[in-house]
A and B are shown apart, each in its own frame.
Chain A
Amino acid sequence: MEPLRVVTGIVAPLNRPNVDTDQIVPKQFLKRIERTGYGPAAFYDWRYLEDGSDNPEFVLNKPAYRGASILVTGKNFGCGSSREHAPWALLEYGFRVIIAPSFADIFNNNCLQNGILTITLPEEQVQELIRLAEEQPGMKLTVDLEQQEIRGDGIQIPFEVDEFKRFRLLNGLDDIGLTLQHEDAIAAYEQRRPEYLTYGK
């Protein structure tokens, strides 16, 4: 996983609440056995027309938003299934930072596992960013995880992020490696595991 310290990039606005993981990656793309190749599937049903060409109506297809690395969107983003294909697709599409009033739990975890920074801001602030990104297509922002601050032309917004999440993203640390440092504790737990949990096979 790539460390994430400072991201400067185009801000793409997706002004919808409750964008679910079926929208982020429809199921027909879940049959692959690899972790890669999902970028073209991101927002598939909204993004393409019947004939497979780009849907000019879909906001992320507007030329000014091409190459965006920061997504600003509505509340409860990523609700629905546990498919990690959703953050895989968003990452491959180019997003490293997602800003929303709230995120679904499993999706939020999955983003962290893949080096995507999710930032929760109050609804009004998010709406303001969406408005700016819509009015000035191609607008860039800098998201600074070290300083915990979003910066841009006349914009300076501090954000909160869990200390351990920040540490992991800054260092690009893989969870399994961290946990295996506690292998002794796991073995010790296996010795004291409540007996009733070990009956039955």
Chain B
Amino acid sequence: MAPKTMFEKIWDAHVVYEEPGKPTLIYVDLHLTHEVTSPQAFEGLRLAGRRVRRPDLTIATVDHAIPTWSRDLPVTDPIAATQLATLAANAREFGITFYDIRSPHQGIVHVIGPQLGYTQPGKVIVCGDSHTSTHGAFGAFALGIGTSEVEHVLATQTLPMMKPKTMEVRVEGTLPPGVTAKDIILGIIGRIGTAGGTGYVIEYTGEAIRSLSMEGRMTVCNMSIEAGARAGMIAPDETTFAYLRGRPHAPQGADFEKAVAAWRTLPSDPGAVYDRTVVIRADELEPYVTWGTNPGMVAPISGRVPQLDEFEPGPDRQSAERALEYMGLKPGTPIREIPIDRVFIGSCTNSRIEDLRAAAAIVRGHKVNPKVRAMVVPGSTGVKLQAEAEGLDQIFLDAGFEWREAGCSMCLGMNPDILAPGERCASTSNRNFEGRQGKGGRTHLVSPQMAAAAALAGHFVDVRELTKER
């Protein structure tokens, strides 16, 4: 048999129906839903008199619009409250497991799926959210879909899809100290651009990827969509299996061993052919900071805000010019000299326990710069409880950070956590689009370590020097 990529194996194992020239019907193993992209889908089902085909493969939680202040306070935004109540009612009506705002399992969908063991190698996973690519870190084919597709999956447990192409992004060699998973993916997007992955499923390979923890792998896969890719994935290995063992919704006992045996057959065969391959050397990567209004506009911490003549005349230069104007930055400014007003540590990209540990290690025993308002928003209630058990909350609080309840929060500012116009934020999230964190707000994407260090200094600093000094 011809060697196959991991993506092709998963695709082939999920073909329900195919006909030449038409999209293939693919079976879905896990469907995650949340309050923002599902109400219209459930409404559509109701109008058509349809039921949810597999409520047992569907779970729901609230994350996008909820406040992250104390859970004892009511949700004061009436429209957000309606959305939450609507999801609760839909989950009840259609028999779907629902982790509501007070559940210990509540959290950002892309954090709780893995944490609870729902996310597993070989699965096809969908969610009405573009960062569903996160789950690909386990060797799953996980993709974001729109609301009509959510309705389609609810009704049929399948999704019609044209087969995407495959791209290998190989990160060779070992990662230098101070360079994190976030920097790998920012480095990749900086090279291939925000549309570089359009039409592709990216498989990340190479030594630097293999050496990442599951948390790090999730950070990389999470931002595949920022490179335009349909999905990102990483082959499952011992790290993956160790992470999943014992999680409540992972296979248990003898089933776990049987599952591991099957999962071992998933990685791409030697000699499998990708439609495109990009090779990046880990030792060329540095801690990165975005300077513009899309995640491809990125510079190393040692670098400067680019000059306009570094861009081809035409749309790219215009777009850089607009970005600099929006961001209030002068070409040539050293990245380190950019002062910041806010720091946000959170989002499905970087709000897992390991991210919080890494940030706390920088913060411990220091104070947030008095000009800066900084907050930590754990990705799930589970992460929050674990961090508190480890005393991380105290480290952040002592330094002057706010310590919040779990949710998406200032990643997209649908809840009350937003930037004021002109405020500049070092953020561990994934999008620096105009207005993403609040109208007129200016977002710089960085790793948790870089965000923590910036909070203390009041401007960007090179974490590599910080760790040397201490």
Chain A interfacial positions (CB closer than 8 Å to B): 15-18, 20, 22-23, 26-28, 30-35, 45, 74-76, 79-84, 87, 102, 104-106, 109-110, 113-114, 162-164, 175-176, 178-180, 182-183, 185-186, 189-190, 193-197, 199-201
> A113 to B149, Cβ gap below 8 A?
yes
Residue from B36, B145, B252, B263 in contact with A31 in the complex, judged by beta carbons closer than 8 Å: B36
> A23 to B433, Cβ gap below 8 A?
yes
How far, in Å, is B378 (CB) from chain A's closest CB? 21
A185 to B155, CA, bound (A): 14
The 5 A-B residue pairs with the shortest CB-CB distance, nearest first, are A199-B251, A113-B148, A33-B39, A196-B262, A110-B146
> A176 to B48, Cβ gap below 8 A?
yes
A53 to B316, CA, bound (A): 30
Instruction: Specify the chain A residue showing the minimal Cβ separation from B39.
Output: A33
Q: Tell me which residues from 89 to 131 in chain B have a Cβ below 8 Å from any Cβ of chain A.
A: 117-118, 120, 122-123, 128-130
28 A-B interface contacts by CB (under 8 A)? A18-B294, A23-B435, A27-B412, A31-B36, A33-B40, A33-B82, A33-B83, A33-B86, A35-B147, A76-B194, A76-B198, A79-B195, A80-B433, A82-B37, A82-B144, A84-B40, A105-B228, A105-B230, A106-B144, A109-B145, A175-B160, A186-B17, A189-B16, A189-B27, A196-B122, A199-B255, A200-B250, A201-B249
Instruction: Specify the chain B residue showing the minimal Cβ separation from A87.
Output: B146
> B156 to A104, Cβ gap below 8 A?
no
> B255 to A200, Cβ gap below 8 A?
yes
How far, in Å, is A15 (CB) from chain B's closest CB? 8
How far, in Å, is A130 (CB) from chain B's closest CB? 10
Write out the residue numbers on chain B whose beta carbons fall within 8 Å of the beta carbon of A105. Answer: 164, 198-199, 228, 230
Instruction: Specify the chain A residue showing the minimal Cβ separation from B30.
Output: A197
> A109 to B439, Cβ gap below 8 A?
no
B414 CB within 8 Å of chain A: yes
Write out the residue numbers on chain A whose beta carbons fall within 8 Å of the beta carbon of B185. Answer: none
A84 to B36, CA, bound (A): 10
Residue from B43, B123, B148 in contact with A84 in the complex, judged by beta carbons closer than 8 Å: B148
A185 to B156, CA, bound (A): 11
A82-B37, A84-B128, A182-B25 are known contacts; what are 15 more A-B pairs with Cβ within 8 Å?
Answer: A16-B318, A18-B294, A18-B319, A27-B412, A33-B86, A75-B315, A76-B194, A80-B130, A102-B198, A104-B228, A162-B162, A185-B16, A196-B262, A197-B13, A199-B251
> B37 to A83, Cβ gap below 8 A?
yes
Chain B interfacial positions (CB closer than 8 Å to A): 13, 16-17, 21-23, 25, 27, 29, 36-37, 39-40, 43, 48, 50, 53, 56, 64-65, 77, 79-80, 82-83, 86, 117-118, 120, 122-123, 128-130, 144-149, 151-152, 155-158, 160, 162, 164, 194-195, 198-199, 228, 230, 249-252, 255-256, 258-259, 262-263, 294, 315-316, 318-319, 322, 412-414, 431, 433-436, 439
Write out the residue numbers on chain A whose beta carbons fall within 8 Å of the beta carbon of B120. Answer: 197, 200
Write out the residue numbers on chain A whose beta carbons fall within 8 Å of the beta carbon of B29. Answer: 197
Write out the residue numbers on chain A whose beta carbons fall within 8 Å of the beta carbon of B39. Answer: 33-34
